[in-house]
Amino acid sequence: MNKHSNKNNITNVNSNANSLVILDFETTGLSPDNGDRAIEVGAVKLENGVILDRFQELMHPGRRVSSFIENYTGITNAMLSKAAPCNEVMARFSDFIQGHNLVAHNASFDKRFLDNELSHISANYDGQFVCSVLLSRRINQSAPSHSLSNLIQYKNIPSNGSFHRALFDAEMTAKLWLVMLDDIKQQTGLEQIPFALVQKLTKTTKANVAKVLASY
């Protein structure tokens, strides 16, 4: 199913942490350096903490995917045989993300695939990336695990769907992200959390998190 809509591009990237795009890729493997490609992208667009738009498409990577990936994601070769090529999907996705900062759970993985897929069509994006895993490690220091499914359970966030599908994972990451922003608000008294603050927190040692929050 194709779930996306394009809106007028925003010329300036929003500096608030509750107005951005949260994305997720499903892929043929672990690294584009090994020739792996994206097979699905899902994303939600937050504006002032509310999901205003969604994007979800399968994409054909140009070859068959392994049985492991089929079982892990639920995305079969039969499903992909009907999907548009990566280049077509990524051209539409590039339009979707312009003017927004970007979040992903384990962002180094998703950023590598985003950068690689966009390089095939000579496209780029104007936002900056931040990782919700790194933020969680600073905000949820007592969590036993920082995997998405475990954090959803740890924070008592309702979920009804299957992990390892791109749109569902993006939606769950968005819910987790907003809960973490609320936690930061409670500790700082800020009404709006700047994107620059969450960027700084992800690069701060756990021992210095309280000091950084107090400085705001």
Ordered structural domains, the chain, with CATH: 3-215 (3.30.420.10)
Please state the rounded mean pLDDT for residues 131-146: 97
Average pLDDT, the chain: 94
End-to-end CA distance of the chain: 43
pTM of the entire predicted model: 0.92
- Give residue-wise pLDDT tens across range 49-105: 999 999 999 999 999 999 999 999 999 999 999 999 999 999 999 999 999 999 999
Residue 35 pLDDT grade (very low, low, confident, very high; cuts 50, 70, 90): very high
Query: By the 8 A CB rule, do 59 and 85 touch?
Result: yes
